[in-house]
Structure 1
């Protein structure tokens, strides 16, 4: 009973719960105060963490709502056909909901790196796809520095989603595309 009472008392102290057990000496009193402070700090940290997370989600959602409102307003002001408006809204909502892979342009810290280190990073990022093509694999076997240079200066990813067009009829073709999945 004494051990259960002490366990109950200690648990009540850690969770800021009340109990009818009272500290009877200085050590118990100090322990009680420490546990109360620890419970206060940990519960405050939990509440602030949850609040920050909810505010972040709400901020992201309000930004998406603002962008969709702006799209609808643009389409309305320019008297775009209702069926196209519905398709545009659906596609925008679908794409906003999808978590996309980070692109180089999204990572601003990459621009802080030296150009040689940027080239190495780009080669490491693109090498799997780059070396899967026989010509580029031969290039890398002959001279890895040249392959890195080609990869750094001439290779880029273009992420397409269902329904996106890579080529438009009548447009001049300035780039070569190597399709990977």
Structure 2
């Protein structure tokens, strides 16, 4: 590494056990150039601000500027890392507080309405189970998508729905006959319903307004004795 003082950080005495080694070179501080004095001052200030004191002391302007550069990088990286960690901790704390508050509100409501203990346990169990699962949503929950053009919105809907729709043999055949009709179907007449465990899709006796097609998961049909034939 080049030096403007004639000395480097390795130019010092080293004690190893009982033997002493002396590196050659060196420089008189009184003869140091103005640039080296400025670099020493800047390095000292940065070390005080970042607690960057170190055993290996630079002995030239180039070594000091390199050390200052590393301190700046460490300071920026450290503050950025601390900011990210702090934001993540605050976010996790807020999410935990929200879940706890939701459970407390549900418990207070159930006690207020004098719900039987067995039913209260079922409600609380299902609440805790669903709070721990990630929630899925469709494009209606993303308002920013409404700012793009209608044609681009239709393309997004088609990209999402087409792979699901064409899993059914009827729609695959329809696609070979009329591609445009299936395109319009995907963009205008197909909607997703994201159900969780023990959710109800429909009830006996209700008039059907849609055709349901299961993409993933399993649907269980349950007969209620009061409504079954």
Instruction: Give the TM-score taking structure 1 as reference length.
Output: 0.82
Cross-structure match for 1:74: 109
How far residue 17 of structure 1 moved from its aligned partner, in angstroms, is 4.7
How far residue 138 of structure 1 moved from its aligned partner, in angstroms, is 2.5
Which residue among 100, 105, 122 is the counterpart of 1:65? Answer: 100
Cross-structure match for 1:10: none
Cross-structure match for 2:190: 155
Cross-structure match for 2:152: 117
How far residue 92 of structure 1 moved from its aligned partner, in angstroms, is 1.1
| Structure 1 contact 120–148 (Cα < 8 Å) conserved | no
- Are residues 1:143 and 2:178 paired? yes
Counterparts of 1:92 and 1:67, CA distance in 2: 9
> Structure 1 segments of 4 or more deviating over 4 A?
none
Cross-structure match for 1:84: 119
Cross-structure match for 1:19: 54
Gapped regions of structure 1 (runs ≥ 5) = 6-12
Q: CA RMSD in A?
A: 2.4
| Structure 1 contact 68–89 (Cα < 8 Å) conserved | yes
Gapped regions of structure 2 (runs ≥ 5) = 1-8, 15-46, 217-229
Counterparts of 1:32 and 1:54, CA distance in 2: 32
How far residue 66 of structure 1 moved from its aligned partner, in angstroms, is 2.0
Cross-structure match for 1:101: 136
* Larger relative contact order (CA 8 Å, sep ≥ 6): 2
How far residue 2 of structure 1 moved from its aligned partner, in angstroms, is 3.6
Counterparts of 1:164 and 1:20, CA distance in 2: 65
Counterparts of 2:143 and 2:207, CA distance in 1: 31
Counterparts of 1:25 and 1:83, CA distance in 2: 78
- Are residues 1:41 and 2:65 paired? no
| Structure 2 contact 137–194 (Cα < 8 Å) conserved | no
Counterparts of 1:85 and 1:120, CA distance in 2: 45
Could you give the per-residue CA deviations for residues 123-149 of structure 1, whole angstroms, max 9, x where no partner exists?
A: 210112211222222222222221111
Could you give the per-residue CA deviations for residues 94-149 of structure 1, whole angstroms, max 9, x where no partner exists?
A: 11101133422222222223232222211210112211222222222222221111
| Structure 2 contact 52–71 (Cα < 8 Å) conserved | no
SS in 2 for 1:180: coil
Cross-structure match for 2:163: 128
